Amino acid sequence: MKLFPAAPSDPSLGVILLVHSSLARAAQVARHWAESGCPLVIHVDKAVSAQEHAEFRRALAGLPDILFAPRLRCEWGKWSIVRATQAAAEIMLESFPEVRHVFLASGSCLPLRPLADLRAYLERRPQTDFIESANVEEVPWIVGGLGQERFTLRFPFAWKKQRRFFDAHVRLQRRLGYCRRIPEGIVPHIGSQWWCLTRRTLTAILEDPRRREYDRYFSRVWIPDESYFQTMARLHARRLESRSLTLAKFDHQGKPHMFYDDHLQLLIRSKCFVARKIWPKADLLYNTFLQTRESQPCPSEPNPNPIDKLFASARERRVRGRTGLYMQSRFPAPGRENGLTCAPYSVFEGFSDLFTDFETWLSRTTGARVHGHLFARHGAEFEGGQDVFAGGLSSSAAVRDRNPRLFLASLIWNMRGEHQAFQYGPDDSPEAGHLIAQDPNARISVITGAWAIPLFHSSLNFNVIRKIAALRQRAEAAHVDLLRSHATRARVRIWSLAEFMENSMENLQIIADTISPRAMRKLTEAPRLANLAGFGKFLQDLKNHGMHPYMMGNFPPDNIQPIRLRPSGARPRIMK
Amino acid sequence: MSKAREWRKAYGLRWKRRRLLWRALRKRREMSAVRDRTDAIAPGDVLLFAVVRNEIERLPHFLDHYRRIGVDHFLVVDNASNDGTGPFLAAQPDLSLWQTPHSYKQSRFGMDWLTWLMIRYGHGHWCVTVDADEILIYPYHDERSLKDLGRWLEVQGQQSFGAIMLDMYPKGPIGDQSYQPGDDPFEILSLFDAGNYTFTPQTDIANAWIRGGVRARYFFADRPERAPTMGKKPFVKWNRRFVYMNSTHSLLPCRLNPVHDLSGSMTTGILLHSKFLPSVIGRSLEEKERAEHFAVSSLYDSYYEGIAQNPDFRGPESVPFEGWEQLEELGLMARGGWK
């Protein structure tokens, strides 16, 4: 039904419009194309009700150069959609001889720039076909679907409605080794179904002498609308640019992203010609982009990069989430956490026993937030003895021990941006010891045997001391075994008390450097060493009572040197 | 053996769902319609279901907010209000009102009544089910409506939408503030606890049990197992065979419960909780007497008494509320792949 014989303006660009839902919006867009002087061939899906179709036709009445293709029922992923496109293209080429480029669009595509721009763009590239077309064997273009197998298997079942049968049938064919023959001479290519082809190429595709054979083959390929023209264009195109002029983004499941009103600025800046899919209720987008604009033609190239980046980050967020965050939205199954915590942190064992002011010293020299024993049995010792720490974490042992893992993850998450350090020892909950050992973000430094120092200073009955020492030694030995095992993913440094004392300043320097590696300043101040006069004799006493303390290493009896600053010279070696 | 047991459990839950539906069917007689404007509901409309009792103070802002984010029709059950809530609601043009004098607790905390209304009117609609002190926000809620969100979730294959309840509290003792009906309650209740939530998987119903926030910190530090549950599913593409099992914390069938992702992140929202308006002090004494809000209400006496003592929840760790982007950044809500 051609209403007006003559086109009002330059009819070099023809548009094929495939419409199946949101007809009011589609009519709006069709009107826009038509008023800009584009000949249109519209295919309305047969599933659209007669009433809606009549309304749609009424909305477009009186516009020049609109033709309607015979209506077919187009099912997703089926041949009929290609068939409808072919029929529309035939009508287009036959009825509008002046058309030099044919643009395939859907009812939910929205032109973002004046069509004069697009026409001028195509005029500068009269021989070029714009169709995304990737060799299916070489490029993993497909998101969440079949690749090469689209072309070699059979698909009698609908993927959307009969998923089980579809999957089972694919599995069966794989097992049987079934493989369709691909017609000679064609190399399967795949790409976005929205293209813009030259009259020459499109004619060649439609008038190919082997078209019947190709059509028969493609009619049983899965999702042929993403491969028929893409493959055929490779046979006939003179200059093929493998990209689509239509901006379309897909999520990790290959489902199209919607554009909403708040994407307005982004879309304007992208300078793309056409975008999809537009959310039908995005009034602002429709109103902005469909108002007739008499602007000067703008020769700028489309630049979808910012949009690509934004959607890539959203996709990353959806698929990988944020490391170290446990939330209603994200509760990683074991092994899929991509990290237990969100940032590196340090654990010190024995240091606060050996040095009386270790915590204040560490926070002063490194700027880290230094906690006491976070996993002490009586409750979490937050920095400065706070009852409630960042994010509202409670120091209550009951709360912490309900889920120590989440307690630690929350603490590190709440304080992201600042390095956290805490003390751990043989009296603390052994479960926490397992936890930190598994975490690649943990930097654990251990001075074994230092737990004996507070005992040495305590005024308890010697028998009690002896029992406590035995318990602590057993707990620490088990913990150190764990830290040395292959399963441990934390970075671990272990010294015995004696080893540490041999070169204590250098060892402290190593610790300070790992917390703030960029600072790399030489330590000017040492933490205060606990009084160890008589400690060797104390150990000997324990031995004499049958409790052999061995975690301290070979401790020289009564021969403890006070710490001295290391003279300037070679930097200490950083050990992994 | 585990296969058979799983099957048996699933079958048990199926019967539980049927029992709950049956219960709702019986309890429908406890309600009578005050104003029925359900004829105005069109296909594709977003509906909101709520049970209220003496909420005249919160309702103006509540209705405003939900209208703004795209609720088309409200279906409200008035449970024996005596502060003018009933007439106020009856006068709203997009609201259908039922009233009942029966027990809230006996009706599974109002769920039986709502279940019946949802069977009758919610089928095939995206439905919001909230209390009058719960304000749902989600990523982009100032630009995109609940319909947009519903459509996005459908494309993702999600039928339900998760939101954490965020207890909001004022900068000072809760009773010392002043609030005028119609004002944004979160101008006063501007603080929240950002990072003390814990999760316990409930494997039998594929749910995650979430606790935390200021009430858990302040009232339940010594018995975290009693702290209120904060994870909800307030927005669901409803089917008349669905049923809320435990408030809006969990649903049957169980496949509606997972609103999280096992490696990445799903889209979720936040229910801003306006419980701690100044009036809560008087109310908590009343609720302690009524004992209508918890299964074993006596366990919560100290909690009610604590509220009555006009506490100040504020601390250096309190975070002032700035908007959904902030909550997203903190990890309390998530965009997932929505962009």
Give the contacts of B1 (CB within 8 A, at least 6 positions apart): none
Check if the beta carbon of residue B214 is closer than 8 Å to that of residue B171.
no
Is residue A163 within 8 angstroms of chain B, CB to CB? no
pLDDT band at A571 (very low <50, low <70, confident <90, very high): very low
Q: What pLDDT score does A515 carry? A: 84
Identify the DSSP state of B120.
I
Q: What pLDDT score does B322 carry? A: 94
- Least trusted range by pLDDT, from A4-13, A559-568, B86-95, B322-331: A559-568
Is residue A44's pLDDT more than 90?
yes
Torsion of CA B239, B72, B163, B181, to 10 degrees: -140
Nearest CA distance, A279 vs chain B (angstrom): 8
Q: What pLDDT score does B330 carry? A: 92
Identify the DSSP state of B4.
H
- Least trusted range by pLDDT, from A93-107, A223-237, A543-557, B103-117: A543-557
Among B140, B265, B268, the residue with its CB nearest the CB of A322 is B265
Nearest CA distance, A445 vs chain B (angstrom): 27
Q: What is the 3-state secondary structure (H, E, C) of A199-233?
A: HHHHHHHHCCCCHHHHHHHHCCCCCHHHCHHHHHH
Q: In the predicted model, what is the mean pLDDT of residues A462-490?
A: 91
Instruction: Tell if the CB–CB gap between A333 and B262 is shorter than 8 Å.
Output: yes
Domain ranges in chain A are: 13-137+187-290, 345-544
B156 chain-A contacts, CB cut-off 8 A = 251, 253, 255
Q: What pLDDT score does A567 carry? A: 41
Instruction: Tell if the CB–CB gap between A327 and B144 is shorter than 8 Å.
Output: no
Is residue A295's pLDDT more than 70?
no
Q: Which residue has the higher pLDDT, A474 or B288?
A: A474
Instruction: Tell if the CB–CB gap between A394 and B163 is shorter than 8 Å.
Output: no
Q: In the predicted model, what is the mean pLDDT of residues A110-139?
A: 89
Q: What pLDDT score does A568 carry? A: 39
Instruction: Tell if the CB–CB gap between B196 and A258 is shorter than 8 Å.
Output: no
Which ranges of chain B does DSSP label H, i.e. alpha helix? 2-27, 59-68, 85-90, 111-117, 146-155, 185-188, 213-219, 280-290, 301-308, 324-330
Instruction: Tell if the CB–CB gap between B143 and A410 is shorter than 8 Å.
Output: no
Structure tokens at A140: 């993993």
**Span A231-285, pLDDT tens digits:** 999 999 889 999 999 998 887 777 788 899 989 999 988 889 999 889 888 889 9
Check if the beta carbon of residue A21 is closer than 8 Å to that of residue A107.
yes
Among A261, A320, A394, the residue with its CB nearest the CB of B196 is A394
Query: What gap in Å lies between CA A496 and CA A105, rounded to an integer?
Result: 73
A332 chain-B contacts, CB cut-off 8 A = 262-263
A342: closest chain B residue by CA: B331
Among B143, B214, B260, the residue with its CB nearest the CB of A392 is B214
A281 chain-B contacts, CB cut-off 8 A = 145, 147-148
Q: In the predicted model, what is the mean pLDDT of residues A399-403?
A: 88
Instruction: Tell if the CB–CB gap between A332 and B331 is shorter than 8 Å.
Output: no
Instruction: Tell if the CB–CB gap between B195 and A390 is shorter than 8 Å.
Output: yes
CATH number of A13-137+187-290: 3.90.550
Q: What pLDDT score does B44 carry? A: 92
Nearest CA distance, B5 vs chain A (angstrom): 22
Nearest to A228 by CA among A237, A238, A217: A217
Instruction: Tell if the CB–CB gap between A318 and B223 is shorter than 8 Å.
Output: no
Query: What gap in Å lies between CA A501 and CA A350, rounded to an integer?
Result: 12
Nearest CA distance, A290 vs chain B (angstrom): 20
Is residue A322 within 8 angstroms of chain B, CB to CB? yes
Check if the beta carbon of residue B144 is closer than 8 Å to that of residue A260.
yes
pLDDT band at A1 (very low <50, low <70, confident <90, very high): very low
Nearest CA distance, A406 vs chain B (angstrom): 6
Instruction: Tell if the CB–CB gap between B261 and A329 is shorter than 8 Å.
Output: yes
A253 chain-B contacts, CB cut-off 8 A = 156
Q: In the predicted model, what is the mean pLDDT of residues A524-541?
A: 85
Is residue A21 within 8 angstroms of chain B, CB to CB? no
Coil/strand/helix, residue A139: coil
The mean pLDDT of chain A is 86
Is residue A566's pLDDT more than 50?
no
**Span B281-314, pLDDT tens digits:** 888 888 888 877 777 777 788 888 888 889 999 9
Coil/strand/helix, residue B48: strand
Bridge partners of residue B199, in order along the sequence: B210
**Span A138-151, pLDDT tens digits:** 776 665 567 788 88
Nearest CA distance, A77 vs chain B (angstrom): 17
Nearest CA distance, A400 vs chain B (angstrom): 9
**Span A191-213, pLDDT tens digits:** 888 999 999 999 999 999 999 99
Instruction: Tell if the CB–CB gap between B223 and A398 is shorter than 8 Å.
Output: yes
Instruction: Tell if the CB–CB gap between B163 and A311 is shorter than 8 Å.
Output: no
Bridge partners of residue A207, in order along the sequence: none
Bridge partners of residue B334, in order along the sequence: B268
Q: What pLDDT score does A8 carry? A: 46
With 0-12 / 13-18 / 19 or more C-beta atoms within 10 angstroms meaning exposed / middle / buried, residue B176 is: exposed
Q: What pLDDT score does A518 carry? A: 65
Q: What pLDDT score does A575 carry? A: 37
B70: closest chain A residue by CA: A281
Identify the residue among B168, B196, B215, B260 best suited for mutation to test binding to A, counting A beta carbons within 10 A and taking the highest.
B196
Q: Which regions of chain B are under pLDDT 50?
A: none
Determine the straight-line distance between the first and last CA of chain B, rounded to whole angstroms.
Answer: 45
Instruction: Tell if the CB–CB gap between A330 and B265 is shorter than 8 Å.
Output: yes
Could you tell me how far CA A477 lies from the centroid of its own chain? 41
Give the contacts of A194 (CB within 8 A, at least 6 positions apart): A104, A105, A106, A109, A244, A245, A246, A248, A274, A276
Q: What pLDDT score does B305 carry? A: 86
Identify the residue among A316, A329, A382, A388 best suited for mutation to test binding to B, counting B beta carbons within 10 A and taking the highest.
A329
Which ranges of B144-275 does DSSP label H, i.e. alpha helix? 146-155, 185-188, 213-219
Listed by number, the residues of chain A in 190-229 with a beta carbon closer than 8 Å to a beta carbon of chain B are none
Give the contacts of A483 (CB within 8 A, at least 6 positions apart): A437, A444, A446, A490, A492, A494
Phi (first) and psi of residue B277, to 5 degrees: -70, 160
Query: What gap in Å lies between CA A269 and CA A128, rounded to an integer?
Result: 25
- Cα–Cα distances in angstroms (integers) from residue A275 to residues A27, B140, B277, in the given order: 16, 21, 47
Q: What pLDDT score does A557 carry? A: 64
Query: What gap in Å lies between CA A398 and CA A378, rounded to an integer?
Result: 9
Structure tokens at A405: 């893992």
Listed by number, the residues of chain A in 232-271 with a beta carbon closer than 8 Å to a beta carbon of chain B are 251-253, 255, 257-258, 260-262
- Cα–Cα distances in angstroms (integers) from residue A296 to residues A110, A117, B247, in the given order: 20, 9, 60
Nearest CA distance, B268 vs chain A (angstrom): 6
Helices A430-438 and A462-484: crossing angle in degrees, nearest 10, is 20
Structure tokens at A339: 């990290």
A261 chain-B contacts, CB cut-off 8 A = 143-144
CATH architecture for the domain at A345-544: 3-Layer(aba) Sandwich (3.40)
Identify the residue among A319, A328, A400, A414 best suited for mutation to test binding to B, counting B beta carbons within 10 A and taking the highest.
A328
Instruction: Tell if the CB–CB gap between A336 and B262 is shorter than 8 Å.
Output: yes
Query: What gap in Å lies between CA A346 and CA A344, rounded to an integer?
Result: 7
Is residue A403 within 8 angstroms of chain B, CB to CB? yes
Nearest CA distance, A530 vs chain B (angstrom): 34
Q: What pLDDT score does A559 carry? A: 54
Instruction: Tell if the CB–CB gap between B265 and A392 is shorter than 8 Å.
Output: no
Could you tell me how far CA A327 lies from the centroid of its own chain? 17
- Report pTM: 0.85
Q: What pLDDT score does A201 carry? A: 93
pLDDT band at A5 (very low <50, low <70, confident <90, very high): very low
Is residue A336 within 8 angstroms of chain B, CB to CB? yes
B155 chain-A contacts, CB cut-off 8 A = 255, 258
Is residue A378 within 8 angstroms of chain B, CB to CB? no
A249: closest chain B residue by CA: B339
Q: In the predicted model, what is the mean pLDDT of residues A445-452?
A: 92
B210 chain-A contacts, CB cut-off 8 A = 328
Structure tokens at A525: 């101040």
Nearest CA distance, B116 vs chain A (angstrom): 28
Domain ranges in chain B are: 2-330
Instruction: Tell if the CB–CB gap between A326 and B199 is shorter than 8 Å.
Output: yes
Query: What gap in Å lies between CA A182 and CA A145, rounded to an integer?
Result: 19
Identify the DSSP state of A58.
H
**Span A334-366, pLDDT tens digits:** 777 777 899 999 999 999 999 999 999 998 888
Q: What pLDDT score does A142 carry? A: 61
Instruction: Tell if the CB–CB gap between A257 and B214 is shorter than 8 Å.
Output: no
Is residue A569's pLDDT more than 70?
no
B150 chain-A contacts, CB cut-off 8 A = none
